Amino acid sequence: MIGRVAAGWVSILAFVASCGTTETHRVVTGRPGGAYGGELAVHMHGTSPPPYEEVAILQAVGSASHADLAHVVEGLKKEAAALGCNALVNVKVDQGAGRASGTALCARIPPTHPLAPPAAAPAGPPPSPPSTCPDRGVENGAACATPDQKCRTTGPPPNCAAPPSPPDCFCDGRQWACPAVSCPPPAE
């Protein structure tokens, strides 16, 4: 009898210890993409993030054992990854006694930016191998379908003797991204 009562209490304690929920909410303000499988960069409120594209405003609310920074940020990360974001920007968490609420911007940082998170492992089918597109002119924002495809056909900047490296445009799986580039160092 004592054993059964003790076992019952252990079950209750185990349930209480694991009793917590994290719910997430979103307001899409940009263009969501396919699910992102890599590590997300987290930029807290008050810090200066690198240039990014806004995708959505997110909120995560943790209750009971999930009412802490770790669970709330994890909830924000999951929601962001589902929308194709590779970063959380302006992350802010308000803490209560038994609840916590966090908000953030779901953002895409260009993969070529030095502060971008490590390249994502593809969540879907493996992408086609990188290729060049010597006969195609591309424009920033134009649609494309082959992730990691690179293009130099927009040519080197006028003051460059050689094409810049990395390439001046790349396909992020949905559209061409053409970040600012600088000339490669002159050859010795």
Cβ atoms of 53 and 81 within 8 Å: the answer is: no
The three-class DSSP label of residue 6 is helix
Task: Give yes or no for residue 103 binding other proteins (CB under 8 A).
Answer: yes
Task: Give yes or no for residue 25 binding other proteins (CB under 8 A).
Answer: yes
Question: In this chain, which stretch among 85-93, 123-131, 155-163, 168-176 interacts with other proteins, using CB under 8 A?
Answer: 85-93
Closer by beta carbon to other proteins, 72 or else 133: 72
Task: Give yes or no for residue 27 binding other proteins (CB under 8 A).
Answer: yes
Task: Give yes or no for residue 54 binding other proteins (CB under 8 A).
Answer: yes
Task: Give yes or no for residue 92 binding other proteins (CB under 8 A).
Answer: yes
Rounded Cα distance between 9 and 162, Å, is 73
Task: Give yes or no for residue 46 binding other proteins (CB under 8 A).
Answer: no
What minimum distance in Å lies between the beta carbon of 95 and other proteins?
Answer: 8
* C-alpha to C-alpha distances, 126 to 81, 94, 136, 173, nearest whole angstrom: 18, 39, 24, 12
| Close Cβ partners of 19 (under 8 Å, ≥ 6 residues apart) | 64, 65
Would you call the peptide bond into 166 cis, given omega within 30 degrees of 0 as the criterion? yes
Write out the binding residues for other proteins, residues 60-79 only, by CB under 8 A.
61
Cβ atoms of 10 and 56 within 8 Å: the answer is: no
Using CB under 8 A, list all residues that contact other proteins: 25-27, 29, 52, 54, 57-59, 61, 89-90, 92, 94-99, 101, 103, 105, 107
